[in-house]
């Protein structure tokens, strides 16, 4: 249990230092252009949705089976998250199941956070994810687990999450704003399915039926999914020495 807490603290310190370094540099010309283009529209969208601006916290939730990326927002620790927008993922790679090695074309499944803001991406703008995380490193190929997983623009992928240029501009602006407002970690949870959808549950049952390791892994993700569905809050999640996700605080 102690090791799980250490993992969370390390992630927090790393992201906080990264955010300070980025803020110190200021916006690039390309970032300023997209802020000028998107911020006014976002303010209007928040007003129409009866949401406060500027947004304080952002949570991203993706479903591989549905091919969508959800944006959830809130403005204080105590209040529940509210679904602000859902983006379609415009290209899919691989199949249900986690990423385990370089070149497998799999989109990861698991609990991640944004660790890179790249306004000079080959895919317009991109937000990097911290794959492989400590859970992935337990199960993935020890020599070549893969990496460089992004949410990005355009419509091509070999394991990333592409959402076209207009959505990535909006998301990039929102993520930049919550970082400036003090959100050190912007969580990104990637699920294989919506676990409360019967048809999806049947699809994954066919996959896990012959794979007990994936069954255990999927059940860990389901517990996190179920918690958020019930409370619209995020639990504190740790990673055990064996690579399992574990809810530490309810």
CATH of the domain at 71: 2.40.440.10
Residue 71 located in a structural domain? yes
156 has a pLDDT exceeding 90: no
Whether residue 244 lies inside any domain: the answer is no
**Domain annotation covers residue 168:** yes
- Give the mean pLDDT of 48-63: 96
Tell me, yes or no, whether 250 lies in a domain.
no
pLDDT of 20 > 50? The answer is no
- Does a structural domain hold residue 142? yes
The backbone torsions φ and ψ at residue 85, rounded to the nearest 5 degrees and listed phi first, read -160, 155
Going by C-beta distance under 8 Å and a sequence separation of 6 or more, which residues neighbour residue 150? 116, 118, 121, 123, 126, 127, 128, 129, 160, 161
Classify residue 55: in a domain, yes or no.
Answer: yes
Least confident of 20-34, 35-49, 196-210: 20-34
Question: Is residue 248 in a domain?
Answer: no
In a domain, 203, yes or no: yes
Range of the domain at 42: 2-237
For range 23-30, the mean pLDDT: 72
Domain count, the chain: 1
Prediction pTM value: 0.88
């Amino acid at each position: 249990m102690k090791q799980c807490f250490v993992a969370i603290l390390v992630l927090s310190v790393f992201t906080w230092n990264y955010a300070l370094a980025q803020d110190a540099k200021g916006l690039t010309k390309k970032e300023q252009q997209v802020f000028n283009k998107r911020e006014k529209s976002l303010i209007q969208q928040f007003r129409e949705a009866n949401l406060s601006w500027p947004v304080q916290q952002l949570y991203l939730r993706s479903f591989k089976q549905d091919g969508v990326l959800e944006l959830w927002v809130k403005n204080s620790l105590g209040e529940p998250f509210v679904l602000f927008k859902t983006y379609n993922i415009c290209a899919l790679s691989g199949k249900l199941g986690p990423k385990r090695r370089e070149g497998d074309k799999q989109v990861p499944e698991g609990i991640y956070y944004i660790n890179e803001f790249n306004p000079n991406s080959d895919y317009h703008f991109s937000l990097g994810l911290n794959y492989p995380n400590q859970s992935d490193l337990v199960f993935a190929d020890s020599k070549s687990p893969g990496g460089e997983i992004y949410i990005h623009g355009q419509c091509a992928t070999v394991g990333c999450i592409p959402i076209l240029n207009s959505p990535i501009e909006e998301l990039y602006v929102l993520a930049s704003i919550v970082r400036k407002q003090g959100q050190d970690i912007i969580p990104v949870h990637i699920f294989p399915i919506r676990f409360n959808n019967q048809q999806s549950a049947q699809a994954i049952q066919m996959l896990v039926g012959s794979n007990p390791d994936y069954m255990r892994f999927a059940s860990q993700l389901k517990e996190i999914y179920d918690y958020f569905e019930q409370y619209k809050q995020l639990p504190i999640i740790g990673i055990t020495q064996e690579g399992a996700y574990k809810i530490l605080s309810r």
